[in-house]
Amino acid sequence: DGGITQSPKYLFRKEGQNVTLSCEQNLNHDAMYWYRQDPGQGLRLIYYSQIVNDFQKGDIAEGYSVSREKKESFPLTVTSAQKNPTAFYLCASTPRGDGDGGRIHEQYFGPGTRLTVT
């Protein structure tokens, strides 16, 4: 079955440690995204990548880093510089990253990783 996998589902870390969240897709999609979800705030875009070896900051990139070395993988590192890292993190993908001439593409979401930092 095609889809997006995120692992692990729950992650616990001590303050001051970096942690990497995994996101893998087998949909052959060009573009991938990371969102952060906090209660009552909807989803906020952290980073996105329209194509392999390229990525851009979203609205709340401070304290996070990403890489896109392979089309199917887009790992997110939550660094110790992120002041409030405890949240639910969602990865998503779309077939194209360039808007495809104005054609709208649905974003496909993974099941999410809940990160708790104490």
Partner 1 sequence: GNSVTQMEGPVTLSEEAFLTINCTYTATGYPSLFWYVQYPGEGLQLLLKATKADDKGSNKGFEATYRKETTSFHLEKGSVQVSDSAVYFCALSAPPFFYKLSFGAGTTVTVRA
Q: Which residues bind partner 1 (CB under 8 A)?
A: 4, 6, 31, 40-45, 48, 50, 58, 90, 92, 94, 96-100, 102-107, 109-112
Name which of 18 and 99 has its Cβ closer to partner 1.
99
Nearest approach, Cβ of 15 to partner 1 (angstroms)?
25
Closer by beta carbon to partner 1, 41 or else 118: 41
Indicate the residue among 79 and 88 with the shorter CB distance to partner 1.
88
Q: How many CB atoms lie within 10 A of CB 99?
A: 12
Separation CA 59–CA 17 (nearest Å): 23
**In whole angstroms, how close is the CB of 67 to partner 1 at the nearest point?**
19
Residue 41 Cβ vs partner 1, minimum distance, rounded to whole Å: 6
Q: Report the distance separating Cα 56 and Cα 54, nearest Å.
A: 7
Shortest distance in whole angstroms from residue 108 CB to partner 1: 8
Tokens of 2: 């095609």
C-alpha 47/C-alpha 28 separation (Å) is: 19
Instruction: Name which of 48 and 74 has its Cβ closer to partner 1.
Output: 48
Other Cβ atoms within 10 Å of 94 Cβ, number: 21
Q: Which residues contact 84 (CB under 8 A, 6 or more apart)?
A: none
